[in-house]
Structure 1
Amino acid sequence: MVYKFILTFICACCCGTMVYGQQVKTNNPLDIPLGDPYILFDKPSDQYYLYGTGGTENGFVVYSSKDLSSWTKQGVIYSSKQATAWGTKDFWAPEVYAYNGKYYLFYSAHWKDNPTNELENYRIGVAVSDKPTGPFNDMTGNPLFDPGYPIIDANVYFAEDGKRYLYYSRCCYKHPVQSEIAKWAKDKGMYNEIEESWVYGVELAADFSGVIGEPKLLLRPPVKKDDQQAEWESRSVTSGEVNRRWTEGSYLFKHNDLYYMMYSANHFAGENYAVGYATAKDPLGPFTKSAFNPILQKNTDKGGVVSGTGHNSVLITKNGERLCVYHGRTTKTGDQRLVFIDPLTITKDGQLQVKGPTVRSGIGGKSRK
């Protein structure tokens, strides 16, 4: 009996992810051409719903699954053609939350109210539906709020005390920042200035109609070159790829008494896109970045086939397993961003670890990290 149990356990671990005795086979990368993926587990329908950037012009689509392996496209859930739409293009990073019998879609788009013709006039909107498959309609016909600068990548946290918090990224656009990395790049004759994106947090109104108080800066790229985060967060600059450093795609969750904020750095369209995390005792910080960053990055420099790993979300399955959902590319599938799902674990000392990137046989040989 003991031998049989051990053999069954080993076989299951080799083929997929064990979830309290059940196997979740994620089959990376999923044959789903989306970026910025987010998965909702919907209790009423006992199904998973996958949302992301792409799949339709100026809107969003959704896929459904019972097992996180086999997915069915359910069609378009949101379109800018609706009468209350405020966005015109670049519909990005959707996240859907079930609350009080309704489903709320938070997303980024280019705002039509653009008197100065800004190239990046992004804001965050909220749409609502009776079903996770939509259709979703904008609540007000306007962005959630206007901080006076372009913002993307909304993430919402529902706190235990009933408060709600919105996290977002200020775009790099027209946001040059002085730093030792910026000086290094200028001295090298690479770039005259380095633009940066920063992550902010703010309390969200209970009815999602707006924000409460002023946004608070939570995360930004390092100022000093000797900061241990500077090397990996500056790769898009130091490689000569682009004159920008990103801190975006944030996702907040709580474990024990600690708040974990996962985030992505480097160019979303480049090979160096990677994920790190920071921790805090309060939903609005201050946050301290982990000494173990990055915890998810390309493996092409180590004989693997995956690059551009980033903009993750976290899924707690119906069986209680914590999974990291993110997009990436492979040398076989090309530049198209595809969805990956890998286990996310927390060690006894509180360290986050993503067991990936992994790929199925036929993409890059046997599954490897």
Structure 2
Amino acid sequence: MIFRNIYLQTLILLWILQVTLYSCKSEEKKEVKVRSETYSNPLEVQFGDPYVLDNGNGIYYMYGTGGGAKDGFSVYSSNNLIDWKYESQVYHGNTENSWNVGHFWAPEVYKINNKFYLFFSADWRNNPTKELENFRIGVAISDNPTGPFRDLTGEPLFDPGYPIIDANVFKDEDGQNYLFYSRVCYKHTVTSEIADWAKKEGLYDTIEESWVYGVKLKSDFKGIIGDPVVLLRPSEKINSKNAEWESKSVTSNEINRRWTEGSFTFKYKGIYYIMYSSNYYLGPNYAVGYATGSSPLGPFRKADNNPVLEKNTSSGGEVTGTGHNMVFSLNGGDNMYTVYHGRTKKSGLNRVVFLDELKILDDGKLIINGPTTDTTSIVWD
């Protein structure tokens, strides 16, 4: 009788253990379930300089240059990063009391303490010498990602004494915010071996360049701390690894300018990555490269595998003018994507939005799987 009770108790324990193991396996399977959706580029959004904000509630918002906005910026929303719905124009400039009067470019929106901050570029009303390019960076604030946004101070964020565009904000792990921007080419004549070559070839007497700068931001976003420092500029030496692709607008006799603009900074496994676009934004050779550093304000070293994103017409594709990208991770993981604009035969001169996978290899090398136009997938962890 005793042995029979022990036998029954053993059977019961084995049954409980089996149920427990099955339950754990079911939970384990549930945790690793992957969600994915297929799509093909370009997306149904006609934006230049696209920027995507993850609102943290499953809804994403995309801002950009153009997109039907008049003297300001519009926004689209999506719950899958593929299908986008037009919401509204979120910012209206060129008003009677605005500091800005035209050329509204490159908006980026950040969610901080349940407020939304819009950084953007526009022509400054204060223009006593009637400069043709008089751009400055502004900041606007709203309680909602769909606006309306109102100017934070009623004036540009700061005045460096030269025209600037393409604001990008990066918050480091210590809580300090940094502003990155591009000094435009306008009246910025630079000497280099490329400039000497262009003059010798009879192409251009002078070459103008745009450079990327970085500076600390005040915690209230109403000003900067210290002096901006140069982080990136076009290659000075004609035989450097990045000179050839960065100089195509000059060497192809397109225009007497070389660009470093549309920067985007992020940190991955202790390394600071700063991405940038080179060449004429209205031309086919607009492309993306990156550099790495050990601090937000550099020094940065350009990668040897640049450009990491460029036109694909040489390989039978139809995409040109790829540039001004940003990067985001889904669910805060290693599943990374980049959003950028480009042109196709169908879009003509209009810039349209592309979404492609971005990877960082074990050796720190950054690569982009794009530009793609075939059916592909976006994956959530």
* TM-score between both structures, scaled by the size of structure 2: 0.88
Deviating more after overlay: 309-318 vs 79-88: 79-88
Tell me, which stretches of 5 or more residues in structure 2 are unaligned?
A: 1-31
Aligned partner letter, 2:340: Y
What is the number of equivalent residue pairs in this alignment?
344
Instruction: Confirm whether residue 64 of structure 1 aligns to residue 80 of structure 2.
Output: no
Aligned to 1:215: 228
Q: Where does 1:114-153 land on structure 2 (aligned, <5 Å)?
A: 114-153=127-166
Shift, 1:301, TM fit: 1.2
What letter is aligned with 1:172? C
> Aligned with 1:335: secondary structure?
coil
Question: What are the Cα deviations for residues 202-257 of structure 1, in whole angstroms up to 9, with x where unaligned?
Answer: 00000001000000000000111011110000000000100000000000000011
- Contact persistence 2:95–2:101 (CA under 8 A): no
Q: How does 1:144-223 map to 2 (within 5 A)?
A: 144-223=157-236
Deviates more, 1:271-280 or 1:325-334: 325-334
Alignment-derived partner of residue 358 in structure 1: 372
- Call closer, same or farther: CA 1:237–1:20 in 2, change over 3 Å: farther
For 1:332, which of 334, 342, 346 is the aligned residue?
A: 346
Q: Deviations over 1:117-167 (max 9, x none)?
A: 000000000000000000000011100000000000000001111111000
Superimposed CA distance per residue, residues 66-91 of structure 1 (whole angstroms, 9 cap, x where no aligned partner): 00111100010000155652111100
Give yes or no for contact 2:213–2:230 (8 Å, CA) kept in 1: yes
Contact 2:263 2:275 in 1 (8 A): yes
- For 2:297, the equivalent position in structure 1 comes to 284
Counterpart residue number, 2:337: 323
Query: In structure 1, what is the Cα distance between the partners aligned to 2:199 and 2:33?
Result: 53
Taking the aligned partners of 2:221 and 2:159, their CA distance within structure 1 comes to 14
Supply the AA of the counterpart residue of 1:129: S
Asked if 1 retains the 8 angstrom alpha-carbon contact of 2:324 and 2:340, the reply is yes
Asked if the contact 1:25–1:68 (Cα under 8 Å) also holds between the matched residues in 2, the reply is: no
1:24 to partner: Cα distance: 3.8
Aligned-partner Cα distance in 1 for 2:280–2:239: 21
Residue 181 of structure 1 aligns to a residue whose secondary structure is helix
Alignment partner of 1:336: what SS? coil
1:52 equivalent in alignment to 2:64: yes
Alignment of 1:91-106 (within 5 A): 91-106=104-119
Q: Which residue identity lines up with residue 85 of structure 1 in the other structure?
A: S
Tell me, yes or no, if the aligned pair for 2:94 and 2:102 is still in contact at 8 Å.
no
The secondary structure found in structure 2 opposite 1:185 is helix
1:27 aligns with 2:27: no
CA distance in structure 2 between the aligned counterparts of 1:263 and 1:91, rounded to whole angstroms: 20
Are the equivalent residues in 1 in contact too, given 2:284–2:320 (CA < 8 A)? yes
Note if contact 1:261-1:279 (Cα within 8 Å) is conserved in structure 2: yes
Cα RMSD (Å) = 1.5
Q: Is the 8 A contact 1:102 1:130 kept in 2?
A: yes
Equivalent of residue 272 in structure 1, options 285, 304, 314: 285
8 Å CA contact 2:263–2:324 kept in 1: the answer is yes
State percent identity of aligned pairs: 58
- 2:349 counterpart SS class: strand
1:333, distance to aligned residue in structure 2 (A):
2.3
Aligned counterpart, 1:343: 357
Q: Which has the larger radius of gyration?
A: 2
Instruction: Decide whether the 8 Å contact of 1:24 with 1:68 is kept in 2.
Output: no
